[in-house]
A and B are shown apart, each in its own frame.
Chain A
């Protein structure tokens, strides 16, 4: 285990930046944090988490896939994939780290998504334990330990120091390269910190959120639940929940007319939108209730059904805090059968 005093944390950032790009949460002018490329003067945010999740690094909101140039009768197909270079995403929370696993199960299975895979190969994740979880956090409901985030490197922030522990080959390589700015450390402070966090986790308002009712094979039980009507009645269909969510993975592929050709790109889609999975015969989800139901059934039933029982939500709380009408997965879980366990 290595450590660095927080006062000198910029030395660490500088050392990483010397060899590759480093991204970390930085406060914006509205006081909210967003992943930003580090350069001198940028300060690591104190905020618990970013508004937008770090999934953008591997699955960007928009991404060019290929380009077609038309000249007379010839169409040239251009591969727009760039060779990716190594980069570091620093300060990722345990929930968001787990979200990468969920995305991996979608993008890295056969047929493997090469756009995603390349970035994933080159990305090095430094996760940081959460000292002050928010009232909207419920990662523990999904078995995630906010005190012990497992990424290439795990980190803990104590009062004056940052402790770093490598968990993978990539992580070891990174810490090795940082030996000049860090020093050898023992685990005591980290153990203390973990205990401290564990105590707080028990006090969170959503600490007892029950997931046992959900999982694969529950489609029949919940699909026609009468509660969907009320839960979705004021949903605006805006898709904020899907765009801030670290695990929402749906995308659309579109063509952009450049005048003498086409750029084919993909962009995030949202099951909350009226043209989501629209087909030649029309749409199979015509009401907002059906679209709303899709989002939550996907996270709580369909995804686990196809992925050994793993849920498609990591409890990051982003949809809880950002939905314009304050409707979210927690309210859905409590009302669709979690109620008696409150």
Chain B
């Protein structure tokens, strides 16, 4: 497999800007360090040359930005999408959140993204540079000798359990597109299912009590694109900025998980952005797993226009009574 470099993306973007296919480029901008990459818009080749980066820290899923960035756009915007991002892209299209005609999508081959927190756990704090060279990562820090770490050991959770290397949407591909993967992403969910109701409650109580209600999970989530979230609407009666009491704090997450059930593509952004490292993806994966078991395999965003089982009806659908009985079993 060929290695995809940032130069290849810059060349592609330059070509598409120069030949007039697109007027803007949505990509990743370099930061202060090697790992703090920011999503951003580029208007010119000069800007691309100056700040564009692509690499093991281009984790941010850019698809949700298309909603805002295409609103008043004349012409087209180029967006780079990793395989998992293409599922979000399709799901947004299914929900008519942006105009496909305004977007030129380039699928980018992905070898997995690195989690800087995991790097720090091994190499220590005081990171001076992180050099990603395929399989190995060389880390320089203030306090330890240079260290070479296997990339596999510091992959982001969602990448270690990648569900698909296949790009389900693109106008053009850079590098290769892979296959849907039979991943281990439900292993952790199964562990939770095996717990007693009390243990499970304690698990989530412990995790969710850390929540600071910053809403980063919701704000980064490509399935959360309501113009005004009910939790931000002072007229809704449930608007809140802070975990006023633990009841509210837990409900927020359960309501959100229900709201995105069947629409969540398992892109992993919620867990990635949570400042408190709450494993939010486990809530969503529980829904995905249940949907798969009850209604047959369904992957949100695999194709544009598919009807999620929870908003569809077929004669084979599970009877509510079966769900009820199952609740009893797990009590």
Contacts and interface: CB of A to CB of B under 8 A. Distances in A.
Contacts of B276: 30, 32, 51
A51 B220 contact: no
Interface in B269-308: 272-273, 275-277
Contacts of A30: 276-277
Contacts of B214: 238-240, 243-244
Interface in A238-262: 238-240, 243-244, 252, 254, 256
A62 B126 contact: no
A134 B60 contact: no
B32 interface: yes
Interface string B230-268: 001010000111111100000000000000000000000
Interface in B186-237: 206, 210, 212-216, 218-220, 228, 232, 234
B219 A238 contact: yes
Contact of A324 (B33, B124, B220, B228): B220
Given A236-B219, A324-B220, A52 B212 contact: yes
Contacts of B277: 30, 32
B33 A278 contact: no
Contact of A48 (B36, B125, B241): B125
Given A236-B219, A238-B214, A240-B216, A135 B242 contact: no
A320 interface: yes
B39 interface: yes
Contacts of B213: 243
Given A61-B243, A230-B40, A273-B241, A239 B32 contact: no
Given A28-B210, A243-B212, A326-B36, A132 B243 contact: no
Interface string A1-42: 000000000000000000000000000111110100000000
A204 B60 CA distance: 27
A244 B275 contact: yes
A234 B241 contact: no
Of A234, A238, A273, A274, chain B has the most CB atoms within 10 Å of the CB of A234
A278 B128 CA distance: 42
Contact of A135 (B127, B212, B244): B127
Given A51-B275, A238-B220, A273-B232, A135 B38 contact: no
Interface stretch (A75-83, A116-124, A210-218, A264-272): A264-272
Contacts of A31: 117, 121
Interface of chain B, main secondary structure:
loop
Interface residues of A, number: 51
A267 B244 contact: yes
Contacts of A204: 142
A134 B220 contact: no
A59 B143 CA distance: 35
Contact of B40 (A200, A205, A234, A238): A234
Nearest to B62: A234
Given A205-B32, A326-B38, A252 B241 contact: yes
A256 B32 contact: no
Contact of A205 (B37, B38, B128, B228): B128
A336 interface: no
A237 interface: yes
A180 to B, nearest CB: 35
A135 B140 CA distance: 11
Given A30-B277, A205-B128, A240-B214, A268 B40 contact: no
A135 B126 contact: yes
A135 B239 CA distance: 37
B216 A200 contact: no
A281 interface: no
A203 B142 contact: yes
B41 interface: yes
Of B36, B39, B40, B220, chain A has the most CB atoms within 10 Å of the CB of B36
Contact of A325 (B38, B117, B215, B232): B38
A329 B105 CA distance: 32
A132 B143 contact: yes
A130 to B, nearest CB: 10
Interface of A: 28-32, 34, 48, 51-52, 61-62, 132-135, 200, 203-206, 230, 233-234, 236-240, 243-244, 252, 254, 256, 265, 267-270, 273-275, 278, 320, 322, 324-327, 330-331, 334
30 contacts: A32-B277, A34-B210, A51-B275, A61-B212, A62-B245, A132-B124, A132-B142, A134-B126, A135-B33, A135-B126, A204-B142, A233-B41, A234-B38, A234-B40, A236-B219, A237-B219, A238-B214, A239-B241, A240-B212, A240-B214, A243-B275, A265-B244, A267-B244, A274-B228, A278-B234, A320-B32, A325-B38, A325-B39, A326-B31, A326-B38
